[in-house]
Amino acid sequence: MATIKDIAEIAGVNHSTVSRSLNDSPLISEKTKTKIKKIAKELDFEFNFSAQSLNTNKTGTIGIIYPEQTAEVRISLYLTSLLNDIRSSLEKEFIDSIVSFPKNRFTGESNIKKLINRKKVDGLMIVHSDIDAEDWEYIKNSKIPCIFLHYMPKSNIKTEVDFVSTDHFVGGILAASHLIQLGHQKTMCLTGNPKEEEVKQRMSGYTSIFKKNNLLVDPKLILEGDFSFESGYNIIKENVNMIKEVTAIFIQSDLMALGSIKALKELGVKIPQDVAVIGYDDLDIAPYFSPLLTTIRQPREQIAKIGCERLIQLLNGKQTYSYQSKFVQPRLIIRETC
């Protein structure tokens, strides 16, 4: 097995230079670090991160806190794709990750406290909309670097933490503007939990454009689902009469939109000739269904990249006097369903 001594001899430097290079020390030039890392890779050298952590109190690992629903494939395709983007961004920086739910599903104990207490992670990335008050106080008191991603934190802690999210208000605006430009005046909306901040923001943006055009969004035509394929399918099947009242449907998740399209087809409703459909997310699977789904794209890769860069800044002690809120702009993806 290769050693630091072997790398030092090949590179023509001393042991400490090799060690500092593998630790990304700012005392070593980028040229030297690149050279030494290349030699280490060629020798299949495995740096002893356990020993490193004893000296630096760093584990080289980030804790990613995900919602329990991620275990349900039927509603978590977007979150699963986002997780892949997060892990890719971290791995490019040679950072490992531990993915966990907030609570142990069997004991109810806090996984967040356990990760912090056992010093398993250097920081936390929270992809969850509802971290309870006790866990949040524990995170704050531990002073562990932390950032919220995708979900906006609750209003009572929004000023106490960095977060990166899609600008869902703009997402709602894009959906409404597209439908109105196509001449649609009476629409149905299929949402997720109306208490969720992202759902509120989407509907707020959506209704604002209708009001601006002197049009109303009928509250009776706003129906709640759970973002799953089955949810979209069932809502359409259970509200056939409402379909006859509208010319377009704004659906706040692509999976729910695909389920709705299946139900509409079974009812003999032509898309987009009879009813236009616009989704939200731009899932990787969306282009494989017919007709191709028009949707609002959440910029997953950009959200993951910005979030990881910010968390790394915090890990390196680059805290600012104020917390940073970053809203990433969504895009309208026009295909065949409108």
The 10s digit of each residue's pLDDT in 7-65 is: 888 989 987 788 778 877 777 888 998 998 888 888 877 655 444 443 456 788 999 99
Verify that 132 and 200 share a domain, yes or no: no
User: Going along 242-305, which residue ranges are E strands?
Assistant: 248-251, 276-281, 294-297
Angle between helices 229-238 and 254-266 (to 10 degrees): 40
Task: Record the pTM.
Answer: 0.80
Residues 262 and 175 placed together within one structural domain of the fold: yes
* Average pLDDT score over residue span 290-301: 95
Q: Is 47 exposed, middle or buried (0-12, 13-18, 19+ CB in 10 A)?
A: middle
Residues 161 and 307 in one domain: yes
- Record the tokens describing residue 41, joined without a space: 């890779």
Give 209 or 197, the one with higher predicted confidence. Answer: 209
In a domain, 205, yes or no: yes
**Same domain, yes or no: 176 and 292:** yes
Q: Domain containing 212 — which CATH number?
A: 3.40.50.2300
Give per-residue pLDDT as tens, 121-156.
999 999 998 888 899 999 999 999 999 999 888 767
Assess whether 325 and 265 both reside in one domain. no
| Residue 26 lies in domain | 4-47
Judged by phi (left if over 0) then psi (alpha if -120 to 50, else beta), residue 320 lies in beta
pLDDT at 319: 64
Looking at residue 48, its pLDDT comes to 52
Q: How many domains does the chain have?
A: 3
